[in-house]
Each structure stands twice: as C-alpha cells, then as structure tokens.
Structure 1
C-alpha cells in the first residue's frame, strides 16, 4: 500500500530558524527521485537548494514563493510505494514504502535532520491526488465567492495553547492584518482555520465602524513604508546591533602614500602570462593584513565574555565585506595566513562571484577571525566601521586618489589612501592597535617590507 510521507524544512544549521521560499523546482504531480532538489530557499546566510530525501510523486506543496517558513514546517508531501510509482524503471521506482529517506544533508549545513514523520492515507484519496495533480491543496482553501463565504462563528474568548492553523500563508495573512487567530473559529475539519475564515474576518473588521477617539487622545499615525528586517538584511541588523552592545570599540586612522603599492601591482600584472588573473589591490591589502596580524596576534582573537578570557586564534580566516543585491555579506578566505598573494586573490575572486550570483554557502560566510572592509569602492575616503562580531578588529580602506603629498622633501601629487582600524579595546590598548595600523601603512608605502615575511 502506498504511503504519503511529509518532508519538513530541515534544520539549516548555523542557528538559522527560518527560510523564505524563493522558487519551487517541482510541481504537484511531478515524479521526484531521492535527493532531488525540490525547492530553492533563502536564509539569512545564503541561497540554497533543498533536496528531498524521498522518491515518489509530489502530492502537495506548502507555501507560495515568497512565503517564510520556520524550520520543521511542512515543505511538501510525497507518495511513495507501488501505488504511487510510475510503471517502468523511473526515478521513483527505486523507493518503496519502507524507505526512510536518504539521510543526506545540505552541503555546508552540518548533520542530517531526524527522519520525517509518516502519514497513511486512504487509497482513494491518494488516487485522486495523483490523477489530478493540479486540484488538491492540502490545508489551504481558495477564497470562496461572496455567496459561498462561510459566516464566522461567534468569537470565543482567547485561549492559551496551539492555534488550529496549519498553513503558513494563513498565519502570514493574519499577521499582516493584526488579526488574533485565537478569536477565530475555523470552518475546516476539526475546527481548522482556513484562508477563507481569515479573509472573512478581515472583511468584517474593515466594514465595522471605527471607534470615536477624542482629538486630544488620538495617537499620531505614520504613513511611511515599512520594510521587514528579515533575510540577509535582518541578519546584518542583528549582528551589528550585538556588536555595538557588547564590544567597546575604538577607531584610529592614518593617511598613507600608496603610490609604490600601485606601481608594484602594475609591475606584477605586467609580467603575468596570458590568461593569468590580475593581482587586485584587495589581494595585496589582504596579504599585508596577514603579515600585520602575525606581528600583532592580539587583533586575531575573540572574547569569551562568560569565562572572562581573551581567546587568541591560531589561524587567520580573513573576511572581506562585499555589497550584493541581497545586502552586505562577508565571505571568508580560509587560512589566509598560509596563502600567497596570488592564492588570496584567486579565492577572493571565487567568493566575490559566488556572492554576486547568490551561491555562497554558510561555510563561506562563517568562521572569520578578522575583516577587511574596502569601502573606497563607494568613492569615500574614511569610515568608522562596526566590528564584525565576534571578531576583535576590522581594517577599513578608503579610495586611493591623487593628492598633494610631501615626498622626499618636495611637494608632489601622490596616490593617497586613508586607512582606519576599529578594534575591541578589551583585547588590546591603543599602542598595539597603532602598531598594527602603522605597519600596514608602512607596507602600503614600501611594499618591499613584505619580503621579510614571504
């Protein structure tokens, strides 16, 4: 006998608790194979495709594109077993009713989630779901015509406990209209609250006369646009707010003559063979950072507040700020301290392209120990950046522009850049921070200093 297995949104790791459906990759009635991607979701970390651990026929999908689902919410149901399999040797033919799923997990998201709960259905119900794939929609009713609209039952007193709502769309609709679901009596099976119930309650509230309020007591209203803080924007907001709350930061800055650095870069690229990637300014600055951190390891650390300990980290995992259409992200170059300038540049290029296309994995975005922020690409000279919690410091780099500069006792036009270091004052004092920043500036002005550490 065929079974219908429910596949829930798996644990995405990294403390993520929700994801937004970006694009469905399957339709109701489609035959899916084990581990076939079925939906593309966006988390606060990255865009990922979610593979289904079952093989069979899709009988229902939960949530439209743009719907935000919590971890553990149903994604879709799949009919597996002989009654749900197509004839022949199709992808679903290999999965029987005794399958417990592949056990595979999303790349970069840690270990697998527990097996999904199984639910038996009547054979005739399954037959209808497979034979007419476009008709069934589980737990969700289309909006009825005014003649069919159910009359909501008298509002009961609010009660504690779970609300009889399964569909995330219904919850979202109620949330958008400030509707208390505990005051609705559902017209679905066992009192299930359907979309029609919510829409009817919304219409009733709109038709009800507004209560009179004395002019002196009326609250001011705002007509401004409200933008939800969720996804990447919400994650960035939470991290920056936490950094400001927990880290006593300070900033120091210095101007540096980058003329020799730009000349060294031009020379490197001039001798490169055909097809060899160009050395970027960001790669050179990243290599300078790793050399500076080797001299001042206090800044490659984090603070364990509960233990009241500074934890100095042995590896340098260098993050760099990247602005994308989805918001600000910080990809991480792993083991930057062990890489050459060319290797760092290649990894920065790979991560930048992945950020542009939205294919960064959580592993690409976590574990950084120090961040390099090149805000000069926005045409500004200086900034006081917020530390990327839980790191201890961030180097900011402004634009490199021609400016008057005293060079070898003479006024000249040189390529000048402003460098700023924001640091956690708990891990070091100004002397260490100043020493780090001065060494970076010296390497920018005299790149030959890096030869000592190559």
Structure 2
C-alpha cells in the first residue's frame, strides 16, 4: 500500500542559461506554493543580461517552497523552488486531497494549467523554509489587489505603500497608471517617496546559502540632481558592449544619399503580385548580403591576440530593435542563404519575440554584421556604434520625398541617407566606400541585384 512517507522533496536550482551568464533576475513567478506542476512546465520568468527567459522545472509534483521575491537577483545554482514528488497517500478522501502528483488523479478535474491546494488546507513548506510569495495572505486583511507583479514591484521600488492607494480598476484593482499617478503627485509635491518601515509585503526569507539581494531600486542623487537608475539586465549588457566597442574599435563613418524611388516601386510591385508581403527591411538585408559577398572584409572580426583579421564565411545578420526593455539586436542566421520572403518571415518572428521579451540568448548572439534602420524614429542620419566584435554596421535613415536631379531634371524623389560605420583595422576607406556605393546603387537600381540572385 502506498504511504504518504513515500513522498519526498526535490530542490530545483537556477540552471546555467548559457552564453556565460552567471545570474538572473526574477521577473514573475508562474506558479505558487501548493500548485501542481508537470515535468518541463515553466515555473518562473527571469531576465538575464541577454533576454527574458521562462525557466521550466524538470520535476513533476506539488510546489512546496519558492525562493526569492520578484525583483531579486539570483546566481546560477541558487535554489528556485522545491517540489514534492512521489506517491500520494492511499487513504485520500473521495473529494481528493488537492496534493495531486503527476500520474495520480483525484475525483476533481483540473481547472486549468495549475492545480491549487484546496482552500483551508495549509500549503506544504519544507522545514525551515518559506514559500517566498510576495503576495502571501496577511493576518490583517489579505493582499492588496494589484493588476500584475510588475506594478507591485514598481510601487515597492519607489517606496509607495499600496494600502494607501485606491485603485481605479474593477473592484479597486490597482493599475500601473495608478502607481505612476501617485509617483507624479509625490514629485509635484517636491518630495521623494521613501520606503516605508513596515512593508505591506515583506521579502521572503531565503536559505542562508543564497547570497543575492533584492534588485537595487532607483535612488535620489546627491543634492537632488536627479535619479540614479542601476545599469542591469539588458540595459546593463548593452552599456557594457557599447563601452567595449568604443574602447577597442577605431571606427570611422561614411555616408551617402540615395534615390530609393525605384526600390519602393519594386517592393510595391512584389506585394501586388500576391503571396507573402515583402518588408523593406528584408530588401535592405538582401542588398547587404549581396554587398558583403563583394566586400567580405566587412563581414569579419579582429583577433587581437593573434593579430589577425578573421573573414567569416557566413553572414549572420543582426538588426537593431527597440523594445520596452531597451535596445536589442536579434540575429538572422545564414541571412546570405535566404531570399526576401524568407528574410521577411524571420524578421517578423524575431521582432515579435523581442517585443514579448521571449528572445533566447542564442537569438541575440553570433552576429557578423548589423543593419540599423533608425529611420523608424523619424531621423535622417546617424553615426552608430559598432556591435562588438563585428566590423561594421549599415545605418538607414527615413525615406522621405526630397528635391532630386533625376535624368537631368529636378524632380521630387524618395530619398534615403545611408551610413556605414566600420572598423578601420579591417579595411581602408576605399573598401568601405565601395561597399556603401554598391548598396546605394542597389537601392537606386534594384535590377543590379539580379547579378547576384
């Protein structure tokens, strides 16, 4: 006969997420203590220096403990959750115990993705450990209704007591707009909100072996000069990479104006022919790969230890994408082997993943050349910083009607400014200028591309 003693707890630790990452910040818990989880079910969403990642649990059973609040940074190897696995008690009542394990059911059908311990039943917790829930019920009057953990975190970082607020959502639900309004009101009164001494949601206790602390909140600068915001996560990784690029790469920039009227007409004709729509970014990417085939020096990297320029055989094309979490550069693998339709589909997939924060570390690394379409911000030109350790970046400004001499006459044409920032160690101005001129020629006369199709 199976006995309750057959059950045992397994501890799941933050795994190595690859790419040399050593820590991650808890953004959102996807399970609560008492939930039933299945093997490989995501249990927590974390942010690394590369991307937002949902971490799946390798065990199936009942969650008995969680470690760390949302906003806490944990090192790789630190405990995340404990899961009770094994055989449930054989004398469970006909109503079901609520502690359902994988492979064992009760008379109650699961209500959804997660199974909760029945109301009134205490959530199991490992001896000496806490469940780490930021919104665990309090003895006074229960948790404050907040629309999302990120809003709760925003209030906590800025010292706002949620119990002092009245939410504008249904049944008094506190929305992000409510928290932001309270922050603006505090600023208008000329004071900076300070963390309250008795927090409505105390941080969960963690085992002493976990040395990480909650994420540092923005603090007022000395003398009231401004706000200090920690450089961390994706923003911190971008800062480190751009700083390294400026330190190590002797870059130079050249630029040219090009008449993009024929390119825009060609795209219109492609899309009028039926089938999947072709994006302008995909056409520019196709032009880039054709240009790199002619000027391979720009698809390279510099090995300073060996004092060698390494020309790369494959084009893994990065493209700059602005998201709510900052600038990211997803990479289209083997862009030189893709046609315009395939490039359009891959750009769409990666852009959607970037906006949703679902890019993996592999999606953000390994680029050999970057295409930066800053024209989407309504600007004409830029001198971008090279995405280290690449050797060049092509910048594309907005395409706007401008006076232009066409076939000997003044006309209104669709004009774009193209800029190339390149590592002067890999080539001289002649090579860089030749690359940029070829790109401009393809923009002005798309038929030039037929030579490389």
With the shorter chain as reference, the TM-score category is: 0.7 to 0.9
Q: Report the secondary structure of 2:223's partner residue.
A: coil
User: Match for residue 450 of structure 2?
Assistant: 451
Q: Does 1:389 align with 2:388?
A: yes
Deviation (angstroms), 1:448: 0.6
Q: Distance in 1 between matches of 2:358 and 2:319?
A: 16
Q: Distance in 1 between matches of 2:37 and 2:317?
A: 40
Larger Rg: 1
Q: Report the secondary structure of 1:440's partner residue.
A: helix
Q: Distance in 2 between matches of 1:279 and 1:82?
A: 55
User: Match for residue 133 of structure 1?
Assistant: 123
User: Match for residue 242 of structure 2?
Assistant: 240
Deviation (angstroms), 1:71: 1.2
Q: Report the secondary structure of 1:266's partner residue.
A: helix
Equivalent pair of 1:370/1:393 in contact (CA under 8 Å)? yes
User: Match for residue 373 of structure 2?
Assistant: 374
More moved, 348-357 vs 250-259: 348-357
Equivalent pair of 1:55/1:91 in contact (CA under 8 Å)? no
Deviation (angstroms), 1:330: 0.9
User: Cα distance 1:23–1:407, how it changes in 2: closer, same or farther (>3 A)?
Assistant: same
More moved, 367-376 vs 407-416: 407-416
- Map Cα deviations across residues 98-127 of structure 1 (whole Å, 9 max, x no partner): xxxxxxxxxxxxxxxxxxxxxxxxxxxxxx
Equivalent pair of 1:57/1:85 in contact (CA under 8 Å)? no
User: Match for residue 421 of structure 2?
Assistant: 422
Deviation (angstroms), 1:433: 0.3
User: Match for residue 292 of structure 2?
Assistant: 293
Structure 2 stretches of 5 or more lacking a match? 105-119, 141-197, 199-206
Equivalent pair of 1:16/1:44 in contact (CA under 8 Å)? yes
User: Cα distance 1:177–1:243, how it changes in 2: closer, same or farther (>3 A)?
Assistant: closer
Matching of residues 120-269 of structure 1 within 5 Å? 132-133=122-123, 137-138=129-130, 165-166=208-209, 171-172=213-214, 221-269=223-271
Of the candidates 98, 101, 123, which is equivalent to residue 92 of structure 1? 101
Deviation (angstroms), 1:91: 6.9
More moved, 133-142 vs 253-262: 133-142
User: Match for residue 17 of structure 2?
Assistant: 12
Q: Distance in 1 between matches of 2:408 and 2:296?
A: 35
User: Match for residue 55 of structure 2?
Assistant: 50
Equivalent pair of 2:383/2:419 in contact (CA under 8 Å)? yes
Equivalent pair of 2:396/2:417 in contact (CA under 8 Å)? yes
User: Cα distance 1:260–1:24, how it changes in 2: closer, same or farther (>3 A)?
Assistant: same
User: Cα distance 1:446–1:62, how it changes in 2: closer, same or farther (>3 A)?
Assistant: same
Q: Report the secondary structure of 1:92's partner residue.
A: coil
Deviation (angstroms), 1:426: 0.8
Equivalent pair of 1:63/1:167 in contact (CA under 8 Å)? no
Q: Distance in 2 between matches of 1:252 and 1:390?
A: 20
Of the candidates 38, 43, 59, which is equivalent to residue 43 of structure 2? 38
Q: Report the secondary structure of 1:242's partner residue.
A: helix
- Map Cα deviations across residues 224-279 of structure 1 (whole Å, 9 max, x no partner): 111111111111111111111111111000111111111111111111x2xx3321
Q: Distance in 2 between matches of 1:86 and 1:420?
A: 74
User: Match for residue 400 of structure 2?
Assistant: 401
Q: Distance in 2 between matches of 1:235 and 1:284?
A: 30
User: Cα distance 1:72–1:135, how it changes in 2: closer, same or farther (>3 A)?
Assistant: closer
Equivalent pair of 1:351/1:360 in contact (CA under 8 Å)? yes
User: Cα distance 1:258–1:75, how it changes in 2: closer, same or farther (>3 A)?
Assistant: same
Deviation (angstroms), 1:139: 9.1
More moved, 53-62 vs 238-247: 53-62
User: Match for residue 311 of structure 1?
Assistant: 310
- Map Cα deviations across residues 180-229 of structure 1 (whole Å, 9 max, x no partner): xxxxxxxxxxxxxxxxxxxxxxxxxxxxxxxxxxxxxxx96344111111
Q: Does 1:410 align with 2:402?
A: no
Q: Report the secondary structure of 1:349's partner residue.
A: helix
Relative to the length of structure 1, the TM-score reads 0.73
Alignment: residue pair count:
359
Q: Report the secondary structure of 1:172's partner residue.
A: coil
Two-structure CA RMSD over aligned residues (Å) = 3.1
